[in-house]
Amino acid sequence: MNHALPNTNNIIDFEPRASLVSPRRSARGSSSAGALTSVMTDGSCPADMSPGRDEARMPPQGAAEAPRVDGDDLDDTIAEASSWLHKNQNGDGHWVFELEADATIPSEYILLNHFLDQVNDPLERRIAVYLRRGQGPHGGWPLFHDGDFDMSASVKAYFALKLVGDHPDEPHMKRAREAILARGGAARSNVFTRYTLAMFGQVPWRACPVARVEAMLLPRWFPFHLDKVSYWARTVMVPLFVLYSRRARAENPRGVDIRELFVTPPEKERRYHRNPTGHWIGRTFLWVDAVARMLEPLFPTAVERKATEKALNFVRERLNGVDGLGAIFPAMANALMVFHILGYAKTHPQVQIARKAVDGLVIEKGDHAYVQPCLSPVWDTGLASLAMAEVDAQAHGLDDRGAAVRESAMSNACAWLRDRQVLDTVGDYAAWRPNVRPGGWAFQYNNDHYPDVDDTAVIGMLLDRARLPANKEAIDRAAEWILGLQSENGGWGAFDADNEYYILNNIPFADHGALLDPPTVDVSARCIGFLAQLGYDRDHLAVARGLAYLKRNQEPDGSWFGRWGTNYIYGTWSALAAFNAVDEDLQAPHIRAAVAWLHRRQQADGGWGEGCESYWTDKRDFVKASTPTQTAWAVLALMAAGEVDSPEVKRGIAYLMKAPRDGGMWDEKLYNAVGFPRVFYLKYHGYPAFFPLWALARYRNLTRGNSQRVSWGL
């Protein structure tokens, strides 16, 4: 499977409840008693996945006896970490931490400046420091910390450093060049890199798949249509269509080239295009691409003009102010380049706002700088707030003053989030769900056309848990929107429903394998948890279908795939939290299989870890080191499965207690999330602050409270 104290009207009740049915809502939408049985018939868990209790309790080989968790030390750690997190809250109530990708985004920022002839030498020199430090021992650049060589990241980083002024004979440049040539040269770069190289005149345009702007005019019944691809692909492709069709050419004021990175001169290279899937359909699409290339000179100019105007209207409508097109760097950069080649002046309002959006992603730190792929304030605020809420569930009497401060912080966070709910803009999701009212939240500060299902479920759970009367309407609209975005297979995707046009993964353009936004376990689990927390019964049709989806997608070893967090630990935590939320029998075979898998994956130091390499099938079980974030996910997962008193949980808690940290930020170098598996990875700098605190606070709550069952959807 692929896979400030609050006033009396603003007090937030964080005490866990005896039931997941909200006391201010009755259980809604319950269907007949047989609904769950009928829906889950082919989603049941095989009996042979169920380990015996003795097996499920077996400690990792060579593990020491479970340590005793000192209650005072636990309280002190939670108090210190939560105080640090509160101090890092912005004055308006939100949190935002850095979001780091690999070398490609900073490199593309430099390339963008040279495309536009807007060179910023002081800033680019600082970005170059960051790029040099990220070079791997293999000579190239990886997709994540301490990862293997990646051709496209290496080519872009080399090109960016050369644009900044690094000489090809410098030792680091020589090592990079040798590594690139040894692996086939720049001609082996991915599709998006080749488009960039074509715009800089480094490869002929025939090196790129045909991406005509006339695609904007295709009917929906056609195999390819914009409505059939993911939001991120849509916002990147539309301006790219214009760049390709106009054969955009970079200004490149310093005339820098990278011909030395090609084994065969680029104009003589004949093997640029590869079948992205190896399937016969992929070979067919390569043939279609070749035919389309021959026919390009015959395309009517009038049709191109009409399609270009439609593309520009798409961009203008979604330009999104200082948050940018799609609120993601690649789309923003493509929009700026389109404005440039069409002759928009630098003083044009749309150009200025697009430039501001791109520059808003820059992070400057000490002697270096880098560029984020996007911003994550809504996601960070939701997770940070849930961690703080967990702290307060048992904090009263221990730290009354601190609890009051945290309650005020949560009230402010909820107010900030309510103001960012998308209630009026009908987003692109309406192409397939036209009757669904808006009600979601975006991932970024603003991205109204593209609210995020995962964010919406998390924020909905937070607002419900906060028990503020002002939250009720926001929660109801969020639930309505979540229900409306459920896919036919019972799961939920991140931004769209039923985005499963898998044939499109075979087109030459899709060599990154991330053209679509199908339902995933982690997002689906969050939606189930949200609905259950609101009181939707497990027999409600939407919940029952969601549970069946989760069961069908459990891996043979008992884990679940993690699409948006690394990797199976994240997916398994997500699924177990959802099953707990619907009051699943924790002795059920699929639950025990997941618990046994987590037990087996615990490391000798008491923690859990999982490398980004695990997205490759031949490295599925790859572990580089335990990390605080992944350990917290595993501990949260086990506690959701009723394992709070298990030796594994105690060892995990002990690991978190002794792991190095600075206040409330645990040390973590390894990347902890994924944008596109095997292509684009992420490091959420806030994760090692949110999740370890969350896990420690929940452990305290369950070991000192009246119940050892988690009372929330997440």
pLDDT digits (tens, 9 = 90+) for 282-310: 899 899 989 999 999 999 999 999 999 99
pLDDT band at 27 (very low <50, low <70, confident <90, very high): very low
Q: Which residues contact 351 (CB under 8 A, 6 or more apart)?
A: 336, 339, 340, 344, 345
Q: Output 553 or 54, whichever has higher pLDDT.
A: 553
CB 685 within 8 A of CB 98: yes
Question: How far apart are alpha carbons 680 and 217 in whole angstroms?
Answer: 30
Query: 441 - beta bridge partners?
Result: 452
Q: Which whole number is the average pLDDT over 380-404?
A: 78
Alpha carbon of 127 to those of 103, 122, 172, 189, 363: distances in Å?
Answer: 10, 9, 15, 22, 9
By C-alpha distance, which of 461, 481, 441 is closest to 535?
A: 461
Fold for domain 35-89+375-704?
Glycosyltransferase (1.50.10)
CA dist 332 and 330 (Å) reads 6
Separation between Cα atoms, residue 209 and residue 508, nearest integer Å:
6
Residues 415, 93: contact at Cβ < 8 Å?
yes
Structure-block tokens of residue 572: 């398994």
The answer to whether 186 touches 180, Cβ cutoff 8 Å, is yes
What per-residue confidence (pLDDT) applies to 278?
84
Q: pLDDT value at position 679? A: 93
Specify the range with the lowest mean pLDDT, choosing from 30-34, 349-353, 358-362, 674-678: 30-34
CB neighbours of 240 closer than 8 A, spacing ≥ 6? 195, 211, 334
Sheet holding 680-684, edge to edge: 99-100, 680-684, 673-676
- As a whole number of angstroms, the distance between CA 112 and CA 337 comes to 8
Averaged pLDDT for residues 384-410: 75
Instruction: Mark whether 454 is an active-site residue.
Output: yes
> How many CB atoms are closer than 10 A to CB 529?
28
pLDDT confidence tier of residue 511, bands split at 50, 70 and 90: confident
Checking if the pLDDT of 384 tops 60, the result is: yes
Does 56 score more than 70 pLDDT?
no
Three-class DSSP category at 394: coil
Predicted pLDDT of residue 356: 97
Residue 675 has pLDDT above 70, yes or no: yes
Name the residue among 381, 417, 467, 466 with its Cα closest to residue 85.
381
- What whole-number distance in Å separates Cα of residue 325 and Cα of residue 316? 8
The per-residue pLDDT for 4 is 33
Q: Residue 508: what pLDDT?
A: 87
Arithmetic mean of pLDDT, 384-406: 74
User: By the 8 A CB rule, do 275 and 282 touch?
Assistant: yes
> Apex CA 249: angle with CA 245 and CA 251, to 5°?
155
Q: Which of 46-60, 88-102, 327-341, 690-704 has the lowest mean pLDDT?
A: 46-60
Look at 39-48, 587-596, 639-648 and tell me which has the smallest mean pLDDT: 39-48
Q: Can you read off the two tokens belonging to residue 367?
A: 């002697």
CB-based contact 237:229 (threshold 8 Å): yes
Q: CA–CA separation, 440 vs 482, rounded Å?
A: 8
Instruction: Determine which one of 380, 399, 454, 537 is catalytic.
Output: 454
Q: Are 182 and 226 in contact (CB under 8 A)?
A: no
> For the chain, where do the domains classified as CATH 1.50.10.20 start and end?
35-89+375-704, 102-262+284-371
Q: Is the pLDDT of residue 636 over 60?
A: yes
d(CA 404, CA 279): 60
**Euclidean distance between the first and the last CA atom of the chain, given in angstroms as a whole number:** 24
Q: What is the pLDDT of residues 166-193, one digit of tens each?
A: 999 999 999 999 999 999 999 999 999 9
Taken in order 712, 82, 661, 417, the sign of the CA dihedral is positive
Local confidence band at 21 (pLDDT 50, 70, 90 cut-offs): very low
CATH fold of 102-262+284-371: Glycosyltransferase (1.50.10)
**Helices in 586-627 by DSSP H: which ranges?**
589-601
- CA dist 298 and 149 (Å) reads 41
Ramachandran assignment for 606, one of left (phi > 0), alpha (psi -120 to 50 degrees), beta (any other) = left
DSSP-assigned beta bridge partners for residue 368:
365
d(CA 115, CA 340): 9
User: Over the chain, what is the mean pLDDT?
Assistant: 90
- 143/60: higher pLDDT: 143
Residue whose entry in the numeric block shows the structure tokens 């690094």: 166
For residues 40 and 647, what is the distance between their CA atoms, to the nearest angstrom? 33
Q: How far apart are CA 467 and CA 454, in angstroms?
A: 21
The predicted structure's pLDDT at residue 30: 39
Token pair, residue 490, equals 């019972």
The alpha carbons of the chain give a radius of gyration, in whole angstroms, of: 26
Residues in the chain: 714
